[in-house]
Each structure stands twice: as C-alpha cells, then as structure tokens.
Amino acid sequence: MTTRAGFIALIGEPNAGKSTLLNRMVGAKVSIVTHKVQTTRARIRGVAMHDESQLVFVDTPGLFQPRRRLDRAMVAAAWGGAADADIVILLIEANRGVTEGVERILEGLANIGHSGKVALAINKIDRVEAPVLLGLSKDINERYPFAETFMISAERGHGVDALRQWLATEVPQGPWLYPEDQIADLPMRMIAAEMTREKLTLRLHQELPYQLTVETENWEERKDGSARIDQIVYVIRDGHKGIVLGQKGETIKSVGKAAREELEEFLGRKVHLFLQVKVRPNWLDEAERYSEMGLDFNDGNV
C-alpha cells in the first residue's frame, strides 16, 4: 500500500470561499465561516482522507492590503502558509474575476518562488454564465502557469470531488502526518474560541468584530461526560463592552447559546459554556494574544 500525504495551502482574497472549501473537504466545520471579510486569523489545518492519501489543508487568512499590526501578521501568515505547502490552490470568485487584489496575489506567487504545484480554483461558478467563466479561465492562465484549473462551487459542492481526487494523486508519497481519524490540528480550546468568535461576528456590525478576540480560559472535563468551558471576550474599549453585552445582557446570552449548541453538536456531548467580556485596550499590541491566534507577533512589524 502506497500512502501519500502533503500540505495544501488555500490562498485568495478575503471572502473568496477558502473556509467554505476547507470545511467541505474535511466534512466538518473546522474553520470560521461568515459573510464578513478577514474572519480567518490563524492558519487552520484541516485534515481530509481520500483513498490512501492524507490531505492537510492550510486555510490561510485572506490576502489583502494590511493596515494594522494584526492585518500585517495575518498577511504574513498567509504567505508563510503558501511558501511552506506542497501544493497551493488559488481561489478566485467567478463573479469578481481578476481584481487588483488577485493581480497582487499573482505577483506574490511569482515572488515567493514556490517549488510545488499551484492550481487555480474558480469558485462560485453558479453566479456567472459559461462564456464568462471560460474567458476568465483563459485570461488568468495567461498570467500564471497553473498546473490545473478547477471550476467549483465550494458552497454547493460542485467540482470539489474532482479537485480532491487530483490533490490525492499529487501530494508526495510518504507516511500520513496525522492519525487517520483526526480532522484538525488546532487544539479544541482554539476551535471552541473560534466558534464563539464566529457567533459574535455574525451578530455584531461594522468594525467591532475585528477589534475583539475570544480566548478559552478554562476547560474542565466533568464526571458526567460533559465539559465546562470558560471563555473571555476581549474588547478594546468600554463602549464595545456594552455592545457585546447588549441590553440586559441579551446579545452575549444569545451568542453564548448559539456557540454552546454548535459546540455540543461538534463534540457530541453536553457543554456548559460561560462567557465574560473584558476591556483590554491594548490587546492588538500584546504578543500573547497573537500566540493564542496562532500568529507571529513580530510579523506585524512595519
């Protein structure tokens, strides 16, 4: 039996569908998915098995023009994930085509000198007509020597099997990198924090979701098989704390309920989730917070 295993980096602009594709490939929700951009902060690894191949997906933060320290650390993590991977998949949105952001990514790909294969996945194909799709594919393949091009809908699953099959034959021969039944290499504490942050991101508006973070402070396994999870939501000012709590605590109560239900489904057991909101004005400049998110604090330097 010949086994194969390799790292596959998913790169693209924010909202290109990287997290949706990762979750579909893995068959479980391991990456935060919302309608808001820049929600993936850490390089989340999801593990999928196909025949005798183990596919380890790195869902990188979206590539964009960074403004703040956190932005710069996220972009550095994305390019680091691409440079280290055996295969890179560039996701672009069919309905948006070759934007300025995609052009910058193509330049970046040429600059990092990636030695493995780079494939193109044109996502959200259900949003455009076939002639537009073919024209886009021809245009972008003239700009970069992609090994293969796939037309997919990550949300609906169209074309994903063909992509998975190709990846399974292209990753290097070698032993599996993770146990067969493992779907992610993120600690459960971080997955739990990401689930709560997703619920906050969906509930809150405008800039606030980018100025808060969630950490799992304590995880206690109980004798009855349930788990008690204590989390802290850090915000940067008092006014934000009030927004997160909501009138009479309604917002945080609703977020906690939604996060607990998803955690129970994910873990297959009862969860007691307790959330606290704390003001920490400088969390965006604290090295410890970046470590919790799986980012390198020093990559945020100008």
Question: Which residue shows structure tokens 């396994």?
Answer: 221
What whole-number percentage of the chain has pLDDT above 90? 37
pLDDT of residue 43: 59
Stretch 285-296: mean pLDDT: 70
Stretch 116-140: mean pLDDT: 93
Residue 238 has pLDDT above 60, yes or no: yes
Residue 15 has pLDDT above 80, yes or no: yes
Residue 301 has pLDDT above 50, yes or no: yes
pLDDT of residue 36: 47
Higher pLDDT, 42 or 195: 195
Stretch 216-244: mean pLDDT: 90
3-state secondary structure of 277: strand
Domain with CATH 3.30.300.20 in the chain: 188-300
Domain 4-170 fold: Rossmann fold (3.40.50)
Residue 239 has pLDDT above 50, yes or no: yes
Q: What is the mean pLDDT of the chain?
A: 83
pLDDT of residue 302: 44
Stretch 84-98: mean pLDDT: 90
Stretch 32-53: mean pLDDT: 65
Segment (H or E) for 287 = helix 287-292
pLDDT band at 137 (very low <50, low <70, confident <90, very high): very high
The string over 20-29, giving b where at least 16 C-beta atoms fall within 10 Å of a residue's C-beta and e elsewhere, is bbbbbbbeeb
Domain with CATH 3.40.50.300 in the chain: 4-170
Stretch 33-53: mean pLDDT: 65
pLDDT band at 187 (very low <50, low <70, confident <90, very high): low
- Cα–Cα dist 145/89, whole Å: 13
Beta bridge partners of 292: none
Q: What is the pTM of this model?
A: 0.64
pLDDT in tens, 150-167: 999 999 999 999 999 999
Domain 188-300 has CATH 3.30.300.20: yes
pLDDT in tens, 23-37: 898 876 665 554 444
pLDDT band at 179 (very low <50, low <70, confident <90, very high): confident
pLDDT band at 42 (very low <50, low <70, confident <90, very high): low
- Asked whether the CA dihedral 248, 249, 251, 254 is positive or negative, the reply is negative
Contact present, 39 and 26 (Cβ < 8 Å): no
pLDDT band at 70 (very low <50, low <70, confident <90, very high): low
